[in-house]
Amino acid sequence: MTDAETPVHPTERLSKIEKRIEHHIRQGVTTLRQKNELAHLMSTRDKLKAAAEAHGKIDAAEDLLRELTTWMEVREEELGERAKIHGARHFHTEADHSLRGGLLGYLVRGGIPHEHPPPKALSRPWHDLIDAGPEGLKGVMMIWRPFRDRLSILHDAGWKIIKPLSEEVVEREPGHLLVTEYLLEYDRLGLWRLSLIEKGELEPEWWLRPFNEEEAQTSDER
């Protein structure tokens, strides 16, 4: 199809018709011919509005189909045989659950699947942590004290403690802060640095970010 044969999107045609209607109204509508032409333009505008709305629904449906396809491909890659969905009702349940707080909802909001599944936060994929990049994320509480070589962050106990990095008491009015740092590992996501900041009886704050190779080399030298 050549450029000349490419169909004009209803929204583009609607914009042109709107401008012509505005022009007619500004110029004044006095003759029968002008009134008939304006009536024709307004009728065409209404038809184009309906066509543009239908076009928009089709575009949205195509986007959703792409996102559903990506979601199913990622599920199959991560879960293998367990990714199979049997029946329309089961599919609706799985898709609805993922749309509300999982990968499908992330895709619909414009996200791009990560190379490896992210950790979970409150039982949902923690995409924000990966998207945050080197700066990581900060928060308050929802971290359990270390148990053996594991640490639970936002109810995900998949964080493995490689070793404590440091512990420092920072004097600050009206009391002091205890800052403890850990080197963590999470499945295929590599090394992470966790800082726990405790303020007496207040809930501790945390800062979780990727642990880069320069920091790892410095830690090894120590």
Q: Among 3-7, 48-52, 115-119, whose mean pLDDT is lowest? A: 3-7
Q: What is the pLDDT of residue 210?
A: 92
- Torsion, Cα 61 67 72 73, to 10 degrees, reads 130
Q: What is the pLDDT of residue 55?
A: 65
Q: What is the pLDDT of residue 1?
A: 43
User: 54-88: per-residue pLDDT in tens?
Assistant: 666 666 667 777 888 887 877 787 777 777 776 67
Q: What is the pLDDT of residue 215?
A: 57
Q: Per-residue pLDDT for 172 more than 90?
A: no
Q: Per-residue pLDDT for 4 more than 60?
A: no
User: 90-99: per-residue pLDDT in tens?
Assistant: 777 888 878 8
Residue with tokens 């304006």: 38
Q: Among 40-54, 123-137, 185-199, whose mean pLDDT is lowest? A: 40-54
Q: What is the pLDDT of residue 193?
A: 92
Question: How far apart are alpha carbons 183 and 167 in whole angstroms?
Answer: 12
Q: What is the pLDDT of residue 191?
A: 92
Q: How buried is residue 151: exposed, middle or buried, by Cβ count under 10 Å (0-12/13-18/19+)?
A: buried
> pTM surpassing 0.75?
no
Position with higher pLDDT, 54 vs 23: 23
Average pLDDT in the chain:
77
Q: What angle do CA 77, 79, 80 make, to 5 degrees?
A: 70
Distances (CA, A) of 201 to 143, 176, 182, 197, 205: 15, 11, 21, 12, 12
DSSP type of residue 146: P
User: 5-14: per-residue pLDDT in tens?
Assistant: 555 566 777 7
Region 160-184 average pLDDT: 78
Region 13-18 average pLDDT: 76
Question: How far apart are alpha carbons 68 and 130 in whole angstroms?
Answer: 21
Q: What is the pLDDT of residue 113?
A: 85
DSSP 26-62: HH---SHHHHHHHHHHHHHHHHHHHHHHHHHHHHHHH
Position with higher pLDDT, 38 vs 121: 121
Q: What is the pLDDT of residue 208?
A: 92
